[in-house]
Structure 1
């Protein structure tokens, strides 16, 4: 098996959705810089992400929508018709300098991952994870849907049976549209109840292939461990996939400004370790949400370390500290007095807590339904 490969690009350094948008913060560049400062990213494991060509994007996105993204990037403005038809030029999905090139580069990385995983292997594309994008419109900060494109690429290259596991705080509504009712795609989404886009109700089985678990606010590490061991890992193991696509959004961490969960990054890393231990021959890890530059950068750097079998250090070397101390989080109260641990460690303090009966009951309900559904 090849050593894990990291797909990245310098386009993500300095590219911003605007001074007040949640995606004004650096994310992928921070992960690349931390990985290099930790000596975790030798040149042989790094792949510069290609930019997806329109024809490749047309595997799921409409030609009219892709052409609109290119036109709007060139003009740097969107018309009322663009807003009404494609949801581009809104406060959520603003016009910015790289409005086509940036998402097309993230999508190009995920499409390439599908090609490279025709054989076995592990690939990390932290720029990926734009799971809200729709075929003909922007949605939830996502202009393209690279998880869907990654899975279509896997299919094109002969990988049929795919388990998609998404632990972002927001439900993966775009992926649900893309793979609803597909018997060869198991979709698992663990997301905050009542949070935008307010889809993914526990009763929604996605046409028979989805497990949706909305979790309550303040969902903690011990509750995630219960969900991992009682639901996620047994469901994936029973499905016997040829590939796993894991979306590891960082917005479930307690210090993220857009969600209300109570997790530490240990919970996300332990889900990753559990999935890797299943021994599925092809594994693609994607980024997703995450809007606090310190928590997302530290978590996603740890994902890369775990994919490579590295121990998470208790204290960072000075070069990695310098990366974290250089970050800024303007226009947000969490950026005013960041704790020292955000500069000196990758690992959060665990956030333990009681496993609420409501969480246990939801897991039991989903397992009962799963047991009654033919394989």
Structure 2
């Protein structure tokens, strides 16, 4: 079973004209995958909206009610803003402020159920890893990553590995599972970047591996991270299920990070992880350049579903990318031609710096000390 979760709510929904999440993302992935012939009807599922009772498994009832009230009223009072982080610059009130995140959470919850017998699911509307139990945080109103792990557990996965290669640290997911020995948490993220958590020394009481990485991280350095940290740790943990958060903000063209990966680096991590567990859930995450996000997450679906990645996109797929706009960003004024004509970036290799290998080595010693699965 290989399924894709999508929903038309993402097509017309935006955090606002000035917000980084004003750009289309999930709708681009749906359109691009369809024009490539990768999304037949039998593999597509409409993402359901999670009900408040389901959301109470992680978020407080007061917060869920405040989120619903914010959508109904179109505003929040100062007390709600202070307590729940709603109506701020990062987490604005917009017309679908409850329904949109509840749709992403609903897909991750249902994915955990459908994966009970094994399989692969892509939920590009997921990956909102910053959400906290009682407040919105970092553009994330509900933490679908947490719900994915809880749902997989509820449907028979005893050990879950969560691998997060977003440019930003998975603070909300770590808050939920740092002390759980049956959840492996791996986060690679840019150092000295918001939320300024995820230090190399952080380990919780469970299996937590944080790897802050320097600016300018290239594909060859990420290959070292993959082969010496991510794959060995997941293989030793021997999970029943893997959740991979595939944030596209670690690629070179993203405006909110200073990492310089190509989308090949993300796909190489995905390919390496796929054989390591019978249940696999691929999530979206960060990513604020509409072309790089659409291309990366669509290629992720292609890898997940076994499609052949073309060297050049067919005219119908190219038209999807040429129709995108990125107002308010200088790169949107004159996009390079390959953003329209290809789905795979050129590799972005480079020297492997000692500061990268030294940090990997520090975590490698901890991998050897991990208790093997019973």
TM bracket (short chain): over 0.9
Aligned to 2:333: 336
- The answer to whether 1:359 aligns with 2:353 is no
Structure 2 residue runs of 5 or longer lacking an equivalent are none
C-alpha distance after superposition, 1:261-299 (max 9, x if no partner): 010000000000000133x10000000000000000000
Tell me, in whole angstroms, the C-alpha distance in 1 between the residues paired with 2:367 and 2:201: 12
Matches within 5 A, 1:139-158: 139-158=137-156
Aligned to 2:18: 20
Aligned to 2:234: 236
- The answer to whether 1:312 aligns with 2:309 is yes
Tell me, in whole angstroms, the C-alpha distance in 2 between the residues paired with 1:206 and 1:332: 39
Q: CA deviation at 1:371?
A: 2.0
Tell me, in whole angstroms, the C-alpha distance in 1 between the residues paired with 2:198 and 2:149: 20
Helix, strand or coil at the partner of 2:16 = coil
Aligned to 2:76: 78
- The answer to whether 1:66 aligns with 2:64 is yes
Helix, strand or coil at the partner of 2:48 = coil
Tell me, in whole angstroms, the C-alpha distance in 1 between the residues paired with 2:369 and 2:226: 20
Matches within 5 A, 1:19-98: 19-98=17-96
> What is the RMSD computed on CA atoms of the aligned residues?
0.8
Q: CA deviation at 1:373?
A: 4.2
Matches within 5 A, 1:191-340: 191-278=189-276, 280-340=277-337
Normalising by structure 1, we get a TM-score of 0.98
Q: CA deviation at 1:105?
A: 0.4
Q: CA deviation at 1:207?
A: 2.2
Aligned to 1:130: 128
Q: CA deviation at 1:118?
A: 1.1
Tell me, in whole angstroms, the C-alpha distance in 2 between the residues paired with 1:22 and 1:259: 12
Q: Judge conservation of contact 2:105–2:142 (CA < 8 Å) in 1.
A: yes
Cα pair distance change 1:127/1:89, threshold 3 Å: same
Tell me, in whole angstroms, the C-alpha distance in 2 between the residues paired with 1:194 and 1:208: 24
C-alpha distance after superposition, 1:151-193 (max 9, x if no partner): 1111111211000000000000000001011010000000000
Tell me, in whole angstroms, the C-alpha distance in 1 between the residues paired with 2:345 and 2:129: 26
Q: CA deviation at 1:311?
A: 2.0
Tell me, in whole angstroms, the C-alpha distance in 1 between the residues paired with 2:85 and 2:151: 26
Structure 1 residue runs of 5 or longer lacking an equivalent are none
Q: CA deviation at 1:321?
A: 0.6
Q: Judge conservation of contact 2:236–2:370 (CA < 8 Å) in 1.
A: no
C-alpha distance after superposition, 1:177-228 (max 9, x if no partner): 0101101000000000011001000000132310000000000000001110
Tell me, in whole angstroms, the C-alpha distance in 1 between the residues paired with 2:187 and 2:244: 10
